[in-house]
Amino acid sequence: MVAPALLLLLALPAGAWRGLGLPRRPCVQCCHPAWPPAAPGPGAHVSDGDAWEGLPRLRPTIDISILKGEKGEAGVRGRSGRSGKEGPPGSRGLRGRKGQKGQAGLPGAQCPRAYAAFSVGRREGLHSADALQAVTFDTELVNLDGAFDLASGRFFCTAPGVYFLSLNVHTWNYKETYLHIMRNARAAAVLYAQPSERSVMQAQSLLLPLAAGDAVWVRMFQRDRDNAIFGESGDLYITFSGHLVKPDAEL
């Protein structure tokens, strides 16, 4: 009898158990719950709080393209902001192409240039006297602005600067040759040749700074011994020359 009764109870549907008046016992958890929890069966009781648990979760989305309106007109341009601080210099760029040649400019004013030069000669020979004497000249080769006076044998400087001076003479046989190139009253250089049975050409040259008003000339020494320079009318043996190398303005 018991076995058939159990079979009848098991055969009852799940909702018929409440009408039998059987005592209810609290459900005791005897094992770890399954995760994720299984969905309730078709006969399981679902409380009001669990009515939404079985339903799929939905997340609402909004299509922005539907709500987006047409593009508006450009607004009024705002004021320019303040200039920022200067940044560090960048790296040097590549070298550009060479530009075209520009047009020639207008000619400038000519720079004033100082010139001075002279070259004179003497055809007549000269012997020394009891006193010092200036060597005069009778032939003018170059005399810019007439700065050299042939009668006194002096060049008067009008363009101060550095000058190159040169003196050339022909010695006399068996006679001494003793001359000085003078700047004002002081000897700047000497030209000397001892007496010899043969006559030779003798020369002296130097660079000499001259101030405005300075005088340059050649002086023959006094007669201690027979002192002379040779000359003749046919040829020019005795010459005295000088020119400005560089004016004071360019030094």
Residue 8 C-alpha from the chain's centroid: 115
Residues 6+ apart with CB under 8 A from 33: none
pLDDT of residue 81: 83
pLDDT of residue 138: 96
pLDDT of residue 120: 98
pLDDT of residue 33: 55
Asked if 164 and 242 count as a contact pair (C-beta separation under 8 A), the reply is: yes
Domains along the sequence of the chain with CATH:
117-250 (2.60.120.40)
35-51 b/e (C-beta count within 10 Å ≥ 16 → b): eeeeeeeeeeeeeeeee
Q: Which helix (H) or strand (E) holds 121?
A: strand 117-122
Residues 6+ apart with CB under 8 A from 31: none
What string of DSSP letters covers 4-40?
A: HHHHHHHHS-GGGSGGGTPPP------SPPPSSPPPP
Q: What is the mean pLDDT of each run of 10 residues along the chain (251 residues)?
A: 53 55 56 55 54 63 68 85 86 88 85 90 94 96 97 97 98 95 98 94 98 97 86 94 96 86
Alpha-carbon gap, residue 200 to 237, rounded angstroms: 10
CB count within 10 Å of CB 213 equals: 10
pLDDT of residue 228: 95
3-state secondary structure 27-81: CCCCCCCCCCCCCCCCCCCCCCCCCCCCCCCCCCCCCHHHHCCCCCCCCCCCCCC
pTM of the prediction?
Answer: 0.58
Nearest to 149, CA basis, from 217, 214, 233: 217
pLDDT of residue 90: 87
Residues 6+ apart with CB under 8 A from 89: none
pLDDT of residue 99: 87
Residues 6+ apart with CB under 8 A from 140: 120, 148, 150
Q: Which helix (H) or strand (E) holds 191?
A: strand 186-193
Residue type for 137, please?
F
Residues 6+ apart with CB under 8 A from 188: 165, 180, 181, 182, 206, 208
